Amino acid sequence: MAGRTTDRCDIAIVGGGLAGGLAALALAAKRPDLDVRLIEPGPVGGNHVWSFFDSDIAKQDRWLVAPLVRHHWPKYDVRFPSHQRSVRMGYKSITGEALAEAVAAALPDGAVIADRAKHVAPDHLLLSRGGRLSAKHVIDARGAVKFPTLVCGWQKFVGRALTIKGGHGVERPVVMDATVEQADGYRFVYLLPFDAETLFVEDTYYSDDPDLDIAAIGDRITAYAAAQGWELAATGREETGREETGVLPVVIAGDFERLWPASDRTARIGVRAGAFHATTGYSLPDAVRTAAILPDLAGRPDLPAILRDRAAAAWRRQRFYRMLGAMLFRAAEPDARYRIFQRFYRLPAGLIARFYAGRSRTADKLRILAGKPPVRVGRAIAALRSFDWQ
């Protein structure tokens, strides 16, 4: 803990991923009077790219992520077997490196502790390398854990930055290219053009299991590039150093009281608190919202209870999205799941934006469910009957 002379602080944030990093930045900006420590064994932010739509973040909160944006586009594309569309909606990407640089600049020397917490309690934590750090509040932001109390499908992916000789010709992000062969559930390729020759290519699956065969999916990325006629300068992490993998839960059913028991009085944020979109698995919008309010709550002795109440309310609001997960995984045949998204992307842009932000209106929900379903009616009815309406 170079630069620190005590083993006590005001706020100890355990986990330097997206939620923890943003929380540290917000506290440093708005509450410089507080002694904030961030405990993260690996590099803050990791080797990640997080993307978001402009509408995901309220205007009053954009100050927090604006300095982190490394790429931005005014619209994005989607491609399906019988439908293609450009959606005029701002789309931005931030990187783990940008988050790490911002945290390093915002926090004093020694405030980032490169260690793992082997025990976390409401007012202290024990470090793997030895030592105890006491705090007025410990905030657990360690991200995804196993969710044995939840019924889930899975969104899993492998992404690689490729350098393409002569340029790739992709002008804007392709959020879903589902014209590819369907395998292991709903498969699509996600494209982010970082510059004229560098393209981030992510092969994604809405799958029934969380198993991730990185080598096999890497081969599919190479095959996809070849099918586009791209000549690669090199493939994968050997050339750019960026390879990203992930397995995100797509929640179908679950009890929040079991996910975060009331007896657990340690504050939580991010995925650890169940704060992610039940259908997409993405957590950035909630991570920003929570980080933005932390400075006003940091001095409250009931901070853990406030955060838990917020997480529980958000969980209740996600009920509709869990129902969509039930339809996706229980009503649709795996190789036909793309039809659900193909139909969804025929809907108005505003509805799509509110969906990704987790703020669908009642009229939006009715519009999503209206009309002929893209799955068999009998299976849809059975999926709804089996759905846990918590």
How large is the average pLDDT for residues 85-110? Answer: 96
For the residues 28-56, what does the mean pLDDT come to? 96
174-229, pLDDT tens digit by residue? 999 999 999 999 999 999 999 999 999 999 999 999 999 999 999 999 999 999 99
- 243 compared with 143, residue with greater pLDDT: 243
C-alpha closest to that of 18 among 54, 58, 68? 68
Structure tokens at 265: 């009085």
**In the predicted model, is pLDDT for residue 234 greater than 70?**
no
Average pLDDT over residues 87-104: 96
Which CATH number does 8-74+91-147+255-317 carry? 3.50.50.60
Residue 237's pLDDT is 46
pLDDT of residue 144: 72
Is the predicted pLDDT of residue 2 greater than 60, yes or no?
A: no
In the chain, the percentage of residues whose pLDDT exceeds 70 is: 91
pLDDT of the residue at 5: 41
pLDDT value for 1: 39
Reported as a single tens digit per residue, the pLDDT across 260-286 is: 999 999 999 999 999 999 999 999 999
pLDDT, tens digit (0-9, with 9 covering 90-100), for 28-37: 999 999 999 9
pLDDT interval class at 143 (50, 70, 90): confident
pLDDT per position as a tens digit, 66-91: 999 999 999 999 999 999 999 999 99
Q: What is the mean pLDDT of residues 245-264?
A: 92
Q: Is the pLDDT of residue 356 over 70?
A: yes
Provide the pLDDT confidence category of residue 136 given band limits of 50, 70 and 90: very high
Residue 264: what residue type?
D
Dump strand ranges (E) for the chain: 8-14, 36-39, 49-53, 69-73, 76-80, 83-87, 91-95, 112-113, 117-121, 124-127, 132-140, 150-164, 174-177, 186-193, 198-207, 232-234, 243-254, 267-268
| pLDDT higher than 90, residue 115 | yes
What confidence tens digit (pLDDT) does each residue in 152-161 have?
A: 999 999 999 9
Asked if 283 contacts 270 with a C-beta cutoff of 8 angstroms, the reply is yes
Q: Indicate whether 173 pLDDT > 80.
A: yes
| Buried b or exposed e, range 50-71, using 16+ CB within 10 angstroms | bbbbebbbeeebeebbeebeeb
pLDDT at 387 over 70: no
Q: Which residues of 177-193 are buried (b: 16+ CB within 10 A; e: fewer)?
A: bbebebebbbbbbbbbb
Tell me what the pLDDT averaged over the chain comes to: 92
